[in-house]
């Protein structure tokens, strides 16, 4: 149990500090909050940029060789080096890097020859689609499972849920993905194979959002929708399982914490039904830290799950960034990093807002 | 109530799975699907291509001046050029351009398109330009040296007389791809000769047109109905980016893919038993070798060089490490190339090696280092070699590094032994002869730093032979020079050549006519049927 509680405590955001710091004016309070958020945002992004920039310098790949091949003459090599700005001092390269990022100028990807922004517009919706469905699966199944495990603590159902959760944590996603393909695609023939969509539907729906489920529904192309949904089931279930494993574990420990509180005893003494006590009162309070857990888990999935994407040939963000980094395609890495950074910051903001809505003390 | 939640949720999940149970996606009969790792679609511009997949695509989008026909590997066939003549001094090639060839845009192909396309490669001076600039072409002179003299005739002048087979072999690579000048120039930006546009488009006259290109996802090619050699029989080829071996295998087994191209040994073992699948192995240009630095006194001894060639467990390495992906090969010309000799005289013979070491005055062996790139299969091969050499008393220390580190050290001649790989740049023996057996200046500041130089192998005799072969007009004599060179090279060179790459293709039985040549730029889809 100690294990669970330690984990729970770590994931619980700091509680609001009571009345001590209540500002005098609402305007000042909001203004301060905006400034603080802006500063955090800028600082986080700068940190991200610095880290990726220096990782890009440390990786033992020569971006010039990556662009021109192994055996060009020295003059061509030098020309391309200058074109890429690699002859400049390091600090100047870094400043250029930040300047370009601020202007939204990510340049062209060396690997795909497309503007990085276009590439990201193409790969991010693929990841978004997958991560969102996976998170929905994780929440819809994970939260109830955690609640049940907590209320049935020590019984067989608690053990089953905990073992499933532990397995979700420890089984390599790569293996699970391959097994999923082997069973549901190759043997049982229930589900389609790798990729986002069947080949002959390729190009039938004009990308509007890039999320095929939405685009095909908008266009009324239900065959395409079915194909896309079918392709989504397996990877989303596998990622959903991982999300479920984490969320159910966290839910369980938050619930255990809540169920030991005095107000629960009070509610029970007042004669409320066990259902109301557990699902309304205890879970109602457990939601507060859970929101942060879910947001973090969603954010992690939005970074792109590289291994899942590789197994399922899913053209998503994780694979894009990893591949770009390994090939010293710095423009693409920069662009991808900004997106991931922005997503994390956005999710943090959102969970912050939700948190305020859910916790009356934070209003 | 909550007791029912899990089963209910499970039932919902299952019914979703069944509801979306899709139309199964077996590839239609007029379409071929390849599962392939294609994450290097850097550019489709023939003036810029330097990667496997783009070079292969270019072979199907474009006609070349001459082309490599897999059925007759010893001579180039006329592509855009229907015939050619060579001047007596061997320096001027005059190509007669075929009449009635249409580009995908509908424009007719003219001599101007042919000359302009080659000029463009030299002017842009990117990765593959050296294949043409090697003939003395430069930005300043290319418009005089490569020119259209009338609507059907192109002249190509070289700076000196080369073996005609060499010139034609070089022109058979993708640098002579003929572009539709009008279409390309209509898409020019800031004087880039259409370079930006051509990265993701094509403007060719070949058997296929580009229908859809999604980086890291797929490429779709459509048959070109007006192709001058006749329209392809299949309507469409889809290359699907599937990075992993196991999913490729599953797709092939299910018929969702007709060809799988990056299968690992385990998956190949399984497929070998499948009656619906055939597996083909086609030797490729890449060879794996050890370079012994002649600056090291021990490695410079002829007996030591020979001993090390007897001290490689060629069979064991092939069987245990490389399995399906490479075959033993010991000469510097890859099997399948003009003039290649497939002799493999060396086998593992520790006693013989010990005797040779004793003869060299090193009966107890010696200490030596090997710079090893830290990846499969190089690192794995190096470990086996280390164990084998220990049996003959040679204490070899492996210095692991990444590609850049080991290569930098190698290029500076600071290694003892380098384990590496080498692929020819074009389908002519000169590419490898120049690499392995040509060293015009062995001084530290030489301007030619190819493999013989990197290992400080001073070889006036081989250098002369390489140059003689390059200038030899008679193909039969040229072939004889290369064969002779390889025989001598096998005995004395400080290169222990061990293996050659093979392309392993797993195909559905009903697929016919996928033509895969010995190099990545001569792979053709035109005759595929299923």
Identify whether the C-beta of residue B65 lies closer than 8 Å to the C-beta of residue B53: no
Mean pLDDT, rounded, for B196-202: 92
Q: Judging by beta carbons within 10 Å of its beta carbon (0-12, 13-18, 19+), is residue A51 exposed, middle or buried?
A: exposed
Q: Do B170 and B236 sit in the same domain of this protein? A: no
- Structure confidence by residue, pLDDT tens digits, B82-94: 999 999 999 999 9
Contact between chains at A113 and B41 (C-beta distance less than 8 A): yes
| Percent of chain B whose predicted confidence (pLDDT) is above 70 | 95
Q: Do B142 and B167 sit in the same domain of this protein? A: yes
Mean pLDDT, rounded, for B18-42: 71
- Structure confidence by residue, pLDDT tens digits, A238-270: 999 989 999 999 999 898 888 888 888 888 888
- A-facing residues of B in 327-356 (CB < 8 A) are none
As a whole number of angstroms, the distance between CA B197 and CA B425 comes to 25
Per-residue confidence (pLDDT) for residue B208, from 0 to 100? 97
Determine, yes or no, domain membership for B189: no
Determine, yes or no, domain membership for B192: no
pLDDT band at A69 (very low <50, low <70, confident <90, very high): low
Q: Is A140 on the interface with B (CB under 8 A)?
A: yes
Q: Do B354 and B445 sit in the same domain of this protein? A: yes
Q: Do B347 and B483 sit in the same domain of this protein? A: yes
Q: Do B395 and B459 sit in the same domain of this protein? A: yes
Identify whether the C-beta of residue B43 lies closer than 8 Å to the C-beta of residue B199: yes
Q: Is A20 on the interface with B (CB under 8 A)?
A: no
Residue of A199 and B205 predicted with greater confidence = B205
Of the candidates A18, A54, A23, A55, the one whose C-alpha atom is nearest the C-alpha of residue A36 is A23
Which long-range contacts does B94-97 make (Cβ < 8 Å, 24+ apart)? B94/B153, B94/B154, B94/B155, B94/B156, B95/B65, B95/B153, B95/B154, B95/B155, B95/B156, B96/B152, B96/B153, B97/B151, B97/B152, B97/B153, B97/B154
Per-residue confidence (pLDDT) for residue B1, from 0 to 100? 40
Chain B residue with Cα closest to A63: B404
As a whole number of angstroms, the distance between CA A87 and CA B55 comes to 30
Q: Do B269 and B288 sit in the same domain of this protein? A: no
Identify whether the C-beta of residue B45 lies closer than 8 Å to the C-beta of residue B198: yes
Per-residue confidence (pLDDT) for residue B14, from 0 to 100? 52
Closest Cα in chain B, distance from residue A98 (Å): 25
Per-residue confidence (pLDDT) for residue A56, from 0 to 100? 66
pLDDT(B234) > 60: yes
Identify whether the C-beta of residue B165 lies closer than 8 Å to the C-beta of residue B86: no
Determine, yes or no, domain membership for B54: no
Q: Is B11 on the interface with A (CB under 8 A)?
A: no
Q: Do B93 and B235 sit in the same domain of this protein? A: no
Per-residue confidence (pLDDT) for residue B402, from 0 to 100? 74
pLDDT(B314) > 80: yes
Per-residue confidence (pLDDT) for residue A203, from 0 to 100? 75
Q: Give the residue from A61, A68, A112 with the most B CB atoms within 10 Å of its CB, the best one to mutate.
A: A112
pLDDT band at A171 (very low <50, low <70, confident <90, very high): confident
pLDDT band at B174 (very low <50, low <70, confident <90, very high): very high
Contact between chains at A112 and B404 (C-beta distance less than 8 A): no
Q: How many CA atoms lie within 13 A of A234 on its CB side?
A: 33
Determine, yes or no, domain membership for B195: no
Backbone φ and ψ of B497, nearest 5°: -85, 130
Mean pLDDT check: name the lowest of A187-191, B290-294, B360-364, B391-395.
Answer: A187-191
* Secondary structure (3-state) at B398: strand
Residue with tokens 């294990």: A3
Per-residue confidence (pLDDT) for residue B7, from 0 to 100? 53
Range of the domain at B130: 63-182
For residue B285, what is the enclosing H or E element? strand B277-292
Q: Do B436 and B380 sit in the same domain of this protein? A: yes
Mean pLDDT check: name the lowest of A214-218, B179-183, B300-304, B508-512.
Answer: A214-218
CB count in 10 Å sphere of residue B56: 23
Residue with tokens 């500090």: A17
Which of these three, B148, B182, B216, is where a domain ends?
A: B182
Mean pLDDT, rounded, for B139-166: 93
Chain B residue with Cα closest to A306: B243
Contact between chains at B216 and A199 (C-beta distance less than 8 A): no
Regarding beta strands B259-260 and B31-36, do their DSSP bridges make them parallel or antiparallel, or are they unpaired?
parallel
Q: Residue A141 is nearest to which of B9, B21, B404, comparing CB atoms? A: B9
Q: How far lies B53's CA from each of A328, B28, B37, B239, B403, in Å?
A: 19, 23, 9, 10, 22
Q: Which residues of B325-347 are buried (b: 16+ CB within 10 A; e: fewer)?
A: bbbbbbbbbbbbbbbbbbeeebe
- Of these ranges, A85-89, A123-127, B13-17, B308-312, the one predicted with the greatest mean pLDDT is B308-312
Chain A residue with Cα closest to B32: A199
Per-residue confidence (pLDDT) for residue B478, from 0 to 100? 93
- B-facing residues of A in 164-183 (CB < 8 A) are 178, 181-182
* pTM (predicted TM-score): 0.80
Structural domains in chain B (count): 3
CATH of the domain at B305: 3.10.105.10
Determine, yes or no, domain membership for B188: no
Q: Is B4 on the interface with A (CB under 8 A)?
A: no
- Structure confidence by residue, pLDDT tens digits, B447-505: 888 899 999 999 999 999 999 999 998 989 999 999 999 999 999 999 999 999 999 99
Q: Is A144 on the interface with B (CB under 8 A)?
A: yes
Determine, yes or no, domain membership for B57: no
- B-facing residues of A in 41-100 (CB < 8 A) are 60-62, 67-69, 71-73, 76, 79
Closest Cα in chain B, distance from residue A110 (Å): 6
As a whole number of angstroms, the distance between CA B132 and CA B167 comes to 9
Per-residue confidence (pLDDT) for residue A59, from 0 to 100? 63
Q: Residue A193 is nearest to which of B212, B215, B247, comparing CB atoms? A: B247
Mean pLDDT estimate for chain A: 79
- Structure confidence by residue, pLDDT tens digits, B400-442: 887 767 888 898 899 999 998 898 888 899 999 999 999 999 9
Q: Residue A68 is nearest to which of B39, B126, B256, comparing CB atoms? A: B126
Q: How far lies B288's CA from each of A194, B52, B263, B285, B386, in Å?
A: 34, 18, 20, 10, 16
pLDDT band at B3 (very low <50, low <70, confident <90, very high): very low
Mean pLDDT, rounded, for B293-301: 95
Q: Do B142 and B237 sit in the same domain of this protein? A: no
As a whole number of angstroms, the distance between CA B413 and CA B407 comes to 10
Of the candidates B511, B515, B513, the one whose C-alpha atom is nearest the C-alpha of residue B530 is B511
Q: Do B335 and B394 sit in the same domain of this protein? A: yes
Determine, yes or no, domain membership for B78: yes
Q: Do B122 and B233 sit in the same domain of this protein? A: no
For residue B367, what is the enclosing H or E element? strand B367-373
Residue B43 DSSP symbol: -
Mean pLDDT, rounded, for A277-282: 84
Q: Is B432 on the interface with A (CB under 8 A)?
A: no
Contact between chains at B250 and A181 (C-beta distance less than 8 A): yes
Q: Is A192 on the interface with B (CB under 8 A)?
A: yes
Q: Do B368 and B468 sit in the same domain of this protein? A: yes
Q: Residue A113 is nearest to which of B18, B27, B42, comparing CB atoms? A: B42
Q: How far lies B258's CA from each of A184, B240, B414, B512, B526, in Å?
A: 20, 11, 47, 10, 15
Mean pLDDT, rounded, for A69-94: 77
CATH of the domain at B124: 3.90.76.10
pLDDT(A362) > 70: no
Mean pLDDT, rounded, for B143-154: 94
Contacts across the A-B interface (CB distance below 8 Å): 161
pLDDT(B23) > 70: no
CATH of the domain at B521: 3.40.190.10
Provide, as residue numbers in chain A, all residues whose Cβ is less than 8 Å from the Cβ of B211: 203
Determine, yes or no, domain membership for B314: yes
Of the candidates B235, B205, B184, B154, the one whose C-alpha atom is nearest the C-alpha of residue B47 is B184
Mean pLDDT, rounded, for B135-163: 94
Identify whether the C-beta of residue B224 lies closer than 8 Å to the C-beta of residue B231: yes
Per-residue confidence (pLDDT) for residue B505, from 0 to 100? 94
pLDDT(B188) > 70: yes
Alpha-carbon dihedral sign for residues B54, B60, B64, B70: positive
pLDDT(A219) > 90: no
Alpha-carbon dihedral sign for residues B480, B486, B487, B489: positive
Provide, as residue numbers in chain A, all residues whose Cβ is less than 8 Å from the Cβ of B126: 68, 72, 76
Mean pLDDT check: name the lowest of A2-6, B236-240, B428-432, B525-529.
Answer: A2-6
Q: Is A319 on the interface with B (CB under 8 A)?
A: yes
For residue A297, what is the enclosing H or E element? helix A283-302
């Amino acid at each position: 149990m100690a294990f669970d509680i330690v984990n729970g405590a770590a994931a619980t955001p700091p509680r609001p500090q009571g009345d001590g710091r209540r500002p005098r004016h609402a305007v000042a309070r909001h203004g301060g909050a905006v400034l603080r958020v802006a500063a955090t945002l800028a600082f986080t992004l700068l940190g991200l940029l610095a880290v990726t920039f220096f990782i890009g310098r440390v990786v033992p790949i020569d971006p010039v060789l990556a662009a021109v091949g192994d055996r060009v003459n020295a003059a061509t090599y030098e020309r391309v080096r200058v074109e890429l700005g690699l002859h400049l001092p390091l600090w100047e390269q870094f400043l250029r890097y930040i300047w370009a990022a601020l202007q939204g100028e990510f340049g062209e990807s060396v690997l795909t020859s497309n503007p990085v922004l276009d590439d990201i517009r193409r790969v991010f919706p693929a990841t978004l689609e997958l991560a969102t469905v996976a998170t929905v699966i994780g929440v819809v199944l994970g939260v109830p499972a955690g609640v049940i495990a907590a209320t049935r603590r020590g019984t067989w159902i608690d053990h089953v849920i905990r073992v499933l959760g532990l397995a979700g944590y420890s089984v390599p996603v790569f293996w699970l993905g391959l097994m999923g393909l082997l069973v549901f695609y190759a043997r049982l023939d229930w589900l389609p194979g790798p990729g986002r969509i069947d080949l002959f539907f390729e190009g039938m729906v004009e990308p509007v959002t890039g999320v095929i489920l939405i685009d095909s529904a908008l266009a009324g192309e239900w065959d395409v929708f079915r194909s896309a949904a079918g392709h989504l089931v397996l990877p989303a279930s596998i990622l959903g399982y991982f999300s479920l494993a984490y969320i159910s574990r966290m839910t369980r420990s938050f619930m255990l914490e809540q169920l030991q509180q005095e107000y629960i005893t009070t509610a029970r003494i007042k004669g409320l039904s066990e259902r109301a006590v557990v699902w309304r009162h205890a879970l109602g309070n457990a939601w507060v830290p859970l929101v942060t857990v879910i947001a973090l888990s969603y954010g992690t999935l939005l970074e792109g799950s590289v291994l899942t994407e590789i197994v399922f040939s899913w053209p998503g963000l994780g694979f894009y960034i990893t591949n770009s980094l390994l090939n010293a395609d710095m423009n693409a890495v920069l662009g991808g990093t900004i997106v991931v950074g922005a997503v994390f910051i956005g999710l943090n903001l959102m969970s912050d807002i939700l948190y305020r809505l859910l916790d009356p003390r934070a209003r | 109530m909550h007791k029912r939640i899990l089963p209910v949720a499970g039932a919902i999940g299952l019914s979703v799975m069944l509801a979306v149970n899709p139309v199964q996606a077996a590839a239609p009969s007029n379409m071929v699907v390849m599962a392939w790792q294609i994450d290097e679609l850097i550019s489709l511009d023939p003036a810029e291509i330097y990667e496997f997949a783009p070079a292969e695509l270019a072979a199907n989008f474009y006609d070349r001046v001459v082309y490599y026909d897999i059925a007759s590997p010893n001579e180039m066939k006329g592509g855009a050029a229907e015939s050619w003549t060579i001047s007596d001094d061997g320096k001027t090639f005059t190509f007669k351009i075929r009449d009635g060839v249409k580009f995908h845009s509908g424009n007719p192909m003219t001599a101007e398109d042919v000359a302009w396309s080659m000029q463009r490669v030299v002017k842009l001076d990117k990765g593959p330009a050296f294949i043409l600039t090697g003939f003395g072409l430069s930005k300043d002179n290319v418009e005089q040296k490569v020119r259209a003299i009338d609507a059907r005739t192109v002249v190509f002048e070289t700076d000196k007389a080369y073996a005609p087979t060499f010139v034609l072999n070089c022109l058979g690579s993708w640098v002579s791809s003929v572009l539709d000048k009008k279409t390309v120039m209509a898409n020019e930006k800031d004087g880039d000769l259409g370079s930006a546009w051509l990265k993701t488009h094509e403007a060719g006259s070949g058997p296929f047109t580009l229908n859809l290109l999604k980086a890291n996802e797929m490429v779709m090619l459509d048959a070109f109905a007006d192709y001058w050699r006749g329209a392809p029989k299949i309507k469409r080829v889809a290359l699907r980016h599937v990075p992993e071996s196991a999913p490729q295998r599953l797709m092939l087994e299910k018929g969702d893919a007709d060809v799988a191209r990056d299968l690992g040994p385990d998956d190949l073992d399984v497929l070998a038993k499948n009656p619906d699948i055939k597996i083909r192995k086609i030797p490729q240009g890449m060879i794996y070798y050890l370079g012994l630095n002649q600056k090291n006194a021990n490695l410079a001894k002829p007996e030591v060089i020979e001993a090390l060639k007897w001290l490689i467990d060629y069979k064991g390495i092939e069987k245990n490490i490389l399995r399906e992906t490479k075959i033993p090969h010991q000469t510097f010309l890859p099997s399948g190339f003009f003039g290649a000799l497939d002799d493999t005289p060396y086998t593992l013979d520790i006693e013989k090696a010990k005797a040779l070491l004793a003869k060299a005055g090193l009966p107890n062996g010696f200490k030596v280092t090997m710079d090893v790139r830290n990846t499969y299969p190089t690192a794995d091969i190096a470990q086996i070699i280390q164990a084998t050499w220990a049996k003959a008393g040679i204490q070899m220390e492996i210095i692991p590094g990444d590609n850049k580190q080991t290569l930098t050290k190698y290029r500076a001649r600071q290694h003892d032994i380098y384990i590496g790989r080498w692929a020819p740049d074009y389908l002519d023996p000169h590419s490898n002869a120049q690499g392995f057996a040509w060293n015009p200046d062995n001084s530290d500041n030489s301007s030619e730093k190819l493999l013989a130089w990197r290992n400080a192998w001073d070889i006036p005799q081989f250098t002369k032979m390489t140059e003689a072969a390059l200038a030899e007009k008679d193909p039969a004599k040229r072939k004889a020079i290369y064969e002779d060179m390889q025989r001598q090279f096998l005995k004395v060179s400080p290169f222990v050549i061990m293996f050659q790459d093979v392309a392993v293709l797993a195909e559905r039985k009903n697929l016919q006519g996928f033509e895969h040549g010995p190099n990545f730029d001569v792979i053709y889809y035109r005759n595929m049927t299923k």
